[in-house]
Copies of this chain bind each other. A is one copy, B any other.
Amino acid sequence: MASHSPTLLSMANKMVLPLFFAFSVLASFSHALVQDFCVADLKSPDTPAGFPCKKVSLVTEKDFVYSGLGVAGNTSNLIKAAVTPAFTAQFPGVNGLGISLARLDLAVGGVIPFHTHPAASEVLLVVEGTICAGFVSSANTVYFKTLNKGDIMVFPQGLLHFQINSGKGGALGFVSFSSANPGLQILDFALFGNELPTDIVAKTTFLDPATIKKLKGVLGGSG
């Protein structure tokens, strides 16, 4: 069989340089414009498919690594929780790859209130503590469950969902998204954190104007 399949090494002993150049020719077209990734050039305008790509010659291993999720978010606030994203804007290496992550810190009593991600499904991984999480379907059915360390839960794209620290200590979770730019619409902010007139909010939520005005005051809204 050796005569039919002379190995590269046996051949190479005789003719190293010719092989090297031969292979270079074979593979040379990989070096030019072809790319397997598209690290975001955040200074250029976005497109519907993501940001234009940084030049490959400027890309280093640092573009594919992000350390921002290693730092606990500040939960010294009323919701006793923090979300730290690693989306394209923070982690340009995921641009165009259909994936991103975020860190959830929940102090005792902490809550990530009802929210949606318009452009992605999400999987929550509980790394510490106990989290009660759930979502509501288009059929208005609610699916919720208490998750322990190591449990994962999936939240289908675009549906309202929440996470509550239901344990006695702090909780830590990481969420993965099926998009590099999943979006985040926090319900209370969407309703009460902008200038949408109270009259319209009332008509479209069935809450009474007094409640709306109070929440607008708290959440920075006006009108």
A114 to chain B, nearest CB (A): 5
Could you tell me how many residues of chain A have their Cβ less than 8 Å away from some Cβ of chain B?
A: 160
Given that A50-B48, A220-B23 are known contacts, is A136 also in contact with B93, CB under 8 Å in the complex? no
CB-based nearest B residue for A35: B46
Q: How far is the CA of A153 from the CA of B67 in the complex (A)?
A: 9
- Which of B30, B48, B144, B193 sits near A196, CB closer than 8 Å? B144
CB-based nearest B residue for A204: B162
- B55 to A123, Cβ gap below 8 A? no
Q: How far is the CA of A97 from the CA of B69 in the complex (A)?
A: 24
B-contact bits for A76-98, CB 8 A (1 contact / 0 none): 11110111011111110111111
Q: How far is the CA of A86 from the CA of B116 in the complex (A)?
A: 23
- A64 to B143, Cβ gap below 8 A? yes
**B residues less than 8 Å from A129 (CB atoms):** none
Within 8 A of B (CB), among A186-215: 186-191, 193-196, 198-200, 202-209, 211, 214-215
